[in-house]
Amino acid sequence: MHKKLVYFLCTGNSCRSQIADGFLKALGGGRYEVKSAGLEAHGLNPRAVRVMKEAGIDISGHTSDVIDPEILKEADYIITLCGHANDHCPVVHNDKAERWHWGFADPAKATGTEEEIMFQFREVRDSIKDRIERFVKEGK
């Protein structure tokens, strides 16, 4: 059976796209090939790793990667997770891909105490999880 290739894109591939990548791998029942990338590679955000560990998912081995035009061409789903990536995603020469935008606030821009920042990370994590669960349930 052909696994659908899902490509999550964000600005820096450090938080939101990494969280989405981790959840779809964990919740997708092996039905998807999952990749994530950014317009730039900002490195894996340690707080994203921490909140995913709280959810029982280890993304500590993920790498922060720049968008690969070959993967873009092969993707079945191209999903941007921030407005900047949606606006600046390279032109995609791929007629079969469904392109979606799921906008989430950037938890890396959160300010305040460590507790307040982690609260923002958890809120974004839980919102992304809800959206991934819906994606899987809809059988995309």
Give the residue numbers marked as catalytic.
10, 82, 89
Q: What is the DSSP string of the chain?
A: -PPEEEEEEESSSSSHHHHHHHHHHHHSTT-EEEEEEESS-----HHHHHHHHHTT---TT----B--HHHHHH-SEEEE-SHHHHHHPPPP--SS-EEEE-----GGG--SSHHHHHHHHHHHHHHHHHHHHHHHHTT-
